[in-house]
């Protein structure tokens, strides 16, 4: 199986609690243990040999939020873990995005169904198009516009509230030797 993470899921993983907006569940209540939930998910995905696709537009969003040098450290960590696959916006993804955009213009899933800006919608479509060309079955996101768009294109979508809080024995230390903001010699 192949899954994908959007920028926010990666930020839940890499950023300290309180430096990323606290996600809310369907009832509007804050979701606790964001990092632990994502780490637990990654541990489970590693056990099953599942790949986590990270689309380059999601990396771009992270770079805008945390800065290029810090984001490069995140890329270095992901590159060292076999569970992650960084997927570019390539020719196949460009064609898929154009097809998706054509459907939107034709009214099949037009802009009225979303509240995002035109630029945000482009990023969302690129991330979903990359995921689709990579064979992703499940997209992990808390972005409602992206959720609706991915579901319209046949993907199952899961949010942070869908993930259990793992027991401490099920957690992995993805950050051994990694300190955000400190230069990584491989970055």
CATH class of the structural domain 2-170:
alpha beta
Contact present, 102 and 120 (Cβ < 8 Å): no
Contact present, 126 and 55 (Cβ < 8 Å): yes
Write phi, then psi, for 175 (nearest 5 degrees).
Answer: -110, 20
Dmax of the chain from CA atoms? 51
In which order are the strands placed within the sheet that holds 156-158? 84-87, 51-55, 2-5, 138-140, 156-158
Give me 72's structure tokens: 């490069």
Q: What is the pLDDT of residues 51-104, one digit of tens each?
A: 999 999 999 999 999 999 999 999 999 999 999 999 999 999 999 988 887 765
Decide which of 116 and 27 is more confident.
Answer: 27
Domains of the chain by residue range: 2-170
Contact present, 163 and 27 (Cβ < 8 Å): no
What pTM value is reported for the model? 0.82
């Amino acid at each position: 199986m192949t899954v994908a993470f959007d920028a926010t899921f990666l930020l839940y993983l890499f950023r300290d609690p309180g430096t990323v907006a606290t996600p809310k569940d369907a009832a509007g209540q804050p979701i606790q243990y964001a990092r632990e939930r994502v780490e637990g998910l990654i541990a489970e995905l590693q056990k099953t040999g599942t790949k986590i696709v990270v689309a380059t537009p999601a990396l771009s969003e992270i770079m805008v939020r945390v800065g290029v040098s810090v984001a490069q450290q995140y890329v270095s960590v992901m590159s060292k873990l076999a569970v992650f696959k960084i997927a570019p916006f390539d020719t196949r993804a460009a064609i898929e995005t154009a097809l998706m955009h054509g459907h939107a213009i034709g009214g099949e899933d037009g802009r009225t169904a979303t509240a995002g800006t035109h630029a945000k919608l482009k990023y969302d479509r690129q991330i979903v198009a990359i995921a689709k060309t990579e064979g992703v079955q499940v997209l992990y996101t808390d972005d409602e516009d992206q959720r609706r768009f991915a579901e319209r294109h046949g993907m199952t979508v899961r949010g942070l509230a869908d993930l259990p809080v793992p027991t401490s024995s099920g957690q992995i230390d993805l950050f051994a030797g990694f300190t955000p903001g400190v230069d990584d010699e491989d970055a």
